[in-house]
Chains A and B, each alone.
Chain A
Amino acid sequence: MSAPGPTVTATELLAVMGARQLADRQTVFTGVGAPMLATALAQRTHAPRLTMVVEGGVVGPQWKPGWLPISTNEMRAAYHAQMLPGITDIFLMAQRGFFDVGFIGGAQIDRHGNLNTSAIGGYERPKVRLPGSGGANDIISLCREVIILTVHEPRRFVEKVDFVTSPGYLSGGDARRQSGLIFGGVSRLVTTLGIFGFEPGTRRMRLDAVHTGVTVDEVRAQTPFDIAITERVITTPPPSEEELRVLRGLDPDRQFLG
């Protein structure tokens, strides 16, 4: 590591930090965008026995470099798959408990890890109508644990989301379980600034780690609500040359990496 490599984009940073959250031999239900890059990267580095699962109804694909999928239900997403069981059945496997990690991106997120991808400013006649849940609600409700990846922009972080499309811990405490969601929960939030957990008990967002070159004060300044800070915030090692080489090899035309 003599000369500094080319600048790392936000998507590359998220993909690398996301990949590091995954372990070998896990089953990972992955969403489009940064989560899919992270999962494919983990598969090609430290987690060769990881099984990727995709919303279109895909088990165990091995994506072709340069042919990454735009949607979760097109031919590229099914490349070299082991099984194509259909959409309803893949989600029912999640409900059965087969998937260790659900891996999704975020739009608007609040202090209890609830996501809004439906509407900003009222639901019936919103200021901005967003595309909707897709499978995000199912993934966050049914996988054993969920990791959220998102760019850290103040506008994405709100005290309370306008609409709970995908439930994290709802109003905190035991609320998620009380609603009937007796399994799973959001374990981590990986952003371009650091890594967050959710405090036991209150289920409030808590900063656990910052990326190299980021300060705790900077995270506070970029997050419009009070976050808990863990006692000893660690600093994540920057993306290695090897991680970046493999990641960039997956997307040589930089269609997704930015």
Chain B
Amino acid sequence: MTITSREFDFQAARRKLEAKSKSGGDKLTSLAQAVARVNDGDQIALGGCLFSRTPLALVRALLRRRPRGLAFSRNLMCYEGEWGLVAGAVDKLVTSWLGIGLPWGVSRILREYVESGRVTFEEWSHLGLGLRFRAAAAGLPFLPSLTMLGSDLMGVGGSKTITCPYTGQTLHAVPALFPDVALLHVHRADRRGNCQIDGYPHMDVDIALAAATVLVTAEEIVPEEEIRRQPDRTVIPGFAVDALVHVPYGSYPHECYGRYDADPDHFTEYVDGIREHGAAGVARYLDRYVYGPETHEQYLDLLGSPKLTAARDRARALTT
């Protein structure tokens, strides 16, 4: 059993939220100041899914602070999970799957760390983890579901079943996951943190409502009037957001729906480094792309504008 009571303690989570400022005011800040809100030992939920809308600028800024003892939770975990392990920042991963995708094979870093017992890998089904965030977003300690019943996944985190009080059926009582911090990347927000997302919503809204502290980067900061013109498009209310940073290409080389496509060549370069040097390949990557650049602009310069332009053109072709 690897779930801890503070992950599903809905009363404590509620008290924490009630005590917190839910300001409708300005949330704009810098990446460094936003991630300064993260403490060692925190449970960090990441938005997006696999290589789609991953809050990579926030992850890089967070790792530059050299944090320790973090847990990362994410529906399908991409290489940001491997970064956390090799950086020595993360000792627990909560996910349903870890890798980049079929063309890049099974994660050698996951194998190395799990097979040698150096990380707690808490595996859920995709919906199982989704319901953990949703239960927390609804302020509840669990949500009932049929999923995962009968499988050995039930024993991994320590799931329990309940008997339905109406029908007598056995149901999985999926435990809530109230993260300490949410890291999210969205398409647009106003200064007050009202957020709009295009295309795939993934699990970002539930994560934003579930977490104690919510850090958001946005491709675009728009005037309040623009949000008020289309309030039906707003999916995260400003009062749920603690810090907001304007970061164009904030999930690149992962995709941002309609804005830019992912860069599979970058993934291949990363995996080639691991094939050649193992975990040291990740360490080299972190030196070059995470610890090296002092600002997001320097990071984008490192990748080169032709790649960014091509990624933007592909996204346009895929969504028009």
Contacts and interface: CB of A to CB of B under 8 A. Distances in A.
B149 A141 contact: yes
B319 A75 contact: yes
Given A73-B52, A74-B51, A75-B318, A133 B110 contact: no
Contacts of B110: 129, 131
Given A73-B50, A88-B203, A141 B126 contact: no
Nearest to A116: B152
Contact of B206 (A55, A64, A88, A255): A88
B125 interface: yes
Given A87-B75, A127-B115, A141-B147, A135 B126 contact: yes
A127 B257 CA distance: 38
A218 interface: no
Interface stretch (A162-170, A226-234, A237-245): A162-170
Contacts of B156: 123
Q: How large is the interface on B (under 10, 10 to 19, 20 to 34, 35 or more residues)?
A: 35 or more
B127 A76 contact: no
B83 interface: no
Contacts of A88: 127, 130-131, 133-134, 203, 206
Contact of A33 (B102, B115, B170): B102
A76 B201 contact: no
Interface centre among A92, A141, A165 (most CB of B within 10 A): A141
Interface string B182-214: 000000000000000001111101100000000
Contacts of B205: 86
A4 interface: no
A182 B169 contact: yes
A182 B51 CA distance: 34
Contacts of B95: 132
Given A73-B50, A84-B199, A133-B125, A181 B152 contact: no
Contacts of A176: 150
Given A87-B130, A88-B127, A88-B131, A132 B97 contact: yes
Contacts of A132: 95-98, 123
B145 interface: yes
Interface string A113-143: 0000011000111111111111111100110
Interface centre among B98, B133, B151 (most CB of A within 10 A): B151
A87 B128 CA distance: 11
A141 B199 CA distance: 27
B171 interface: yes
B105 to A, nearest CB: 10
Dominant secondary structure of chain A at its interface with chain B? loop
B114 A129 contact: yes
Given A73-B52, A129-B121, A135-B127, A179 B150 contact: yes
A183 B171 CA distance: 13
B147 A142 contact: yes
B203 A141 contact: no
A78 interface: yes
Contacts of A67: 318
A74 B255 contact: yes
A180 B172 contact: yes
Interface string B140-174: 00000111111111001000010000000111100
A32 interface: yes
B51 A75 contact: no
Given A180-B149, A182-B169, A130 B106 contact: yes
B102 A141 contact: no
A131 to B, nearest CB: 5
12 contacts: A55-B126, A64-B318, A74-B50, A75-B257, A76-B318, A85-B201, A92-B127, A132-B96, A133-B123, A164-B150, A164-B151, A170-B150
The 9 A-B pairs with the shortest beta carbon distances in the complex, nearest first, are A179-B150, A88-B130, A180-B170, A137-B125, A91-B127, A134-B97, A135-B126, A180-B149, A129-B114
